[in-house]
Amino acid sequence: MLIDTHMHEMTYSKDSFLKLDEMVRIARAKGLDGICITDHDSMGLKEYAAEYSRRENFPIFTGIEFFSLQGDIVAFGIEEYPKERIPAQDFIDLVKAQGGVCFAAHPFRNNNRGLEDNLRTVHGLDGLEVLNGSTSLEACYKAAEYAEELGLFTLGSSDCHVPEKVGVCATYFPEKVHTMEEFLEVFKKGTMCPAFYKDGQYHIITNKKSIYLSAHQ
């Protein structure tokens, strides 16, 4: 399955211009098999997204993009989350205590919202976003180098806030996932691969060199 693992809907992400029905429509048109709603510091859309997912028969997984004191972390499989900024390690520990998973979002984006070199000091991250549709390819390539160094899973996602960005990058899951339990089970295996959309189809990336080369095709 191809799933966009980092997306923002306008109800709870005030910097987004996307409604859920539009996100699903575009995702289906591009060939995605599911999407993830990861609003800024909120999981307020969770119940509505679950109901919409059932009605449309299209997998929608709700997580959160939490802005820790050191940078953004995307998490899934949690019920409780802080209402104020806390250290990255404390947030990771909270996620793990609830049986969830988490990855560093755009760790080297030049807006002071990535974990950057804090990647080497925090413990418990499952993966790194090594292909982010709203981040430079150079920053993505650096993230891929860190993922290789630290032995972390690699993911791709659009980080979309506008229609044209929906699904520009995604993550390939080698198994079917239709529930959050299945999503978490496969995620923890770490067998996913990042992918990017080009020429009407998705291209799965298997090594960090191809992330760099994709910028020059």
pLDDT in tens, 143-185: 999 999 999 999 999 999 999 999 999 999 999 999 999 999 9
Instruction: For residue 185, count other CB atoms closer than 10 A to its CB.
Output: 13
SS3 state of residue 90: helix
Confidence grade of residue 217 (pLDDT, cut at 50, 70, 90): very low
The percent of residues above 70 in pLDDT, for the chain, comes to 95
pLDDT of residue 209: 59
pLDDT of residue 210: 63
User: Which position has the higher pLDDT, 210 or 106?
Assistant: 106
| Whole-prediction pTM | 0.95
Locate 45 and state its tokens: 């859309």
DSSP secondary structure of 110-123: TTS-S-GGGGGT--
Cβ(59)–Cβ(34) below 8 Å: yes
pLDDT in tens, 54-81: 999 999 999 999 999 999 999 999 999 9
For 106-133, b/e burial (b = at least 16 CB within 10 A) is: bbbbeeebbbbebbeebeebbbbbbbbb
Cβ(147)–Cβ(130) below 8 Å: yes
Cβ(106)–Cβ(128) below 8 Å: no
What residues contact 153, with CB distance under 8 A and at least 6 apart?
Answer: 103, 126, 127, 128, 147, 187, 190, 192
- Cα(72)–Cα(56) distance, rounded to whole angstroms? 30
Considering the chain, what is the average pLDDT of its residues?
Answer: 94
Cβ(169)–Cβ(132) below 8 Å: yes
pLDDT of residue 92: 98
Locate 152 and state its tokens: 């972390």
pLDDT of residue 146: 95
Domains, the chain, in order of start with CATH, read 2-214 (3.20.20.140)
**Per-residue DSSP letter, 95:** H
pLDDT of residue 137: 87
pLDDT of residue 212: 53
Cβ(96)–Cβ(129) below 8 Å: no
Please state the rounded mean pLDDT for residues 30-41: 98
pLDDT of residue 206: 80
Q: Is the pLDDT of residue 215 over 60?
A: no
